[in-house]
Amino acid sequence: MSNLAAAIKVGERYQNALLEYLAAPEETALLGGYDLGRRALSEGLGVLELATIHSSAVATALNCAPDGDERERFLSTHTAFFIEALSPFEMGHRAFRDANAILRRMNDMLEGQAKRIAYALHSEAGQLLASLHMELANTARDLPPEKTTHLTKIRETLLEIENRLRNLSHELRPPVLDDLGLAAALALMAQGVSSRWGLPVIVTVDLKGDLPAVIENTVYRTAQEALTNAAKHSGANRAEVRVRQSDRKVVCSVRDDGNGFDDTGGLRKSRPGLGLTEIKERVGALGGIVRLARNGDRGTDLRIEIPLDI
């Protein structure tokens, strides 16, 4: 059913139920308001639509009211019916907030686990591999040179394993976030992008204190992906990362002056890549939003907003 058809259908029932309640304002009639609120919710109507239905039902009821006293009574009682009709929306909203809080706690928990696994991969496995290297070096010393060739191969494989473990641990949680904090970590990452791709990047961070680890991680990953995209795809001459805290949210925007998404080389004809999808998933999991817009006349402005508490 279309929204309009649903609104008309709910509206008719609402009208009758309200008239019934106004004629005899009792508990059973009041519950009719609650049922209609539930019905409106399940038909996909919003609070504003319900308010419109209510006000037109009140207007009709007033027209039907025979005299001044009756109209006064209607005016003082209709609000209770409206509140009752709104209560399913309020309950839905509370359930949404609770679900978000649970999601946030789960995210924190996963972030903690990722941190521990990253540490185990980086430090503990790293140390074991380092002692294996020493053992190999000792063994090689006792062997005649012609027999050390396959040891060299083992050493190369070990180095490869070390490399992979390090990359994996950095992917799980960039250690630089714990070592330096978000602002310095972003500055360092931007420096890396500048020197690798020749793209000058300005970083500005204006925060009121430390952020939860999971939000720091998301901001860091977003900036990393957006800057890499700017360097790889946009042909920009400069880029800028700005992180700030406003009211109860964190806002991070990454802007470039490249070819943007309004010409042939830009986002509009782009294939869906993994990078932007991952940003949307990460930010969405924290109840935040991602916006891609044009940066003035030229380039791209990728902006994320993450609520600090829900």
Ligand X SMILES: Nc1ncnc2c1ncn2[C@@H]1O[C@H](COP(=O)(O)OP(=O)(O)OP(=O)(O)O)[C@@H](O)[C@H]1O
The CA distance from 307 to 286, in Å, is 8
Class of residue 100 by CB neighbours under 10 A (exposed 0-12, middle 13-18, buried 19+): middle
Q: Which of residues 156-215 bind ligand X (CB under 6 A)?
A: none
User: Looking up tokens 């802007």, which residue turns up?
Assistant: 255
C-beta closer to ligand X: residue 200 or 273: 273
Of the candidates 112, 273, 284, 296, which one interacts with ligand X according to CB under 6 A? 273
> Distance of CA 86 to CAs 58, 182, 271, Å?
15, 43, 43
Stretch binding ligand X (CB under 6 A), from 71-79, 118-126, 151-159, 251-259:
251-259
222 binds Mg ion (CB under 5 A): no
C-beta closer to Mg ion: residue 15 or 234: 234
Q: Give the type of residue at 303.
A: R
Of the candidates 25, 181, 212, 275, which one interacts with ligand X according to CB under 6 A? 275
C-beta closer to ligand X: residue 235 or 307: 235
Of the candidates 84, 216, 240, 256, which one interacts with ligand X according to CB under 6 A? 256
Strands 201-206 vs 239-246: parallel, antiparallel or unpaired: parallel
Cβ-contact 304, 264 below 8 angstroms: no
Of the candidates 48, 59, 134, 274, which one interacts with ligand X according to CB under 6 A? 274
Q: Which of residues 265-304 bind Mg ion (CB under 5 A)?
A: 273, 275
Q: Give the type of residue at 231.
A: A
Q: Give the type of residue at 143.
A: L
Please count the other Cβ atoms lying within 10 Å of the Cβ belonging to residue 142.
8
Of the candidates 233, 252, 282, 303, which one interacts with ligand X according to CB under 6 A? 233
Beta bridge partners of 242: 204, 253
Cβ-contact 256, 300 below 8 angstroms: yes
Positive or negative, the Cα torsion across 4, 46, 84, 67? negative
C-beta closer to ligand X: residue 74 or 261: 261
Residue with the closest Cβ to Mg ion? 275
Minimum gap (Å) between residue 59 Cβ and Mg ion? 55
Of the candidates 147, 237, 270, 296, which one interacts with ligand X according to CB under 6 A? 270
Minimum gap (Å) between residue 245 Cβ and ligand X? 24
Assigned token pair, 261: 């998404």
User: Looking up tokens 């009041």, which residue turns up?
Assistant: 30
Minimum gap (Å) between residue 301 Cβ and ligand X? 9
Please count the other Cβ atoms lying within 10 Å of the Cβ belonging to residue 41.
18
Of the candidates 118, 214, 267, 286, which one interacts with ligand X according to CB under 6 A? 267
Question: Which of Mg ion, ligand X, none does residue 224 bind (CB under 5 to 8 Å by kind)?
Answer: none
Binding site for Mg ion (CB under 5 A): 229, 273, 275
Binding site for ligand X (CB under 6 A): 225, 229-230, 233-234, 256, 258-261, 266-267, 270-271, 273-277, 300
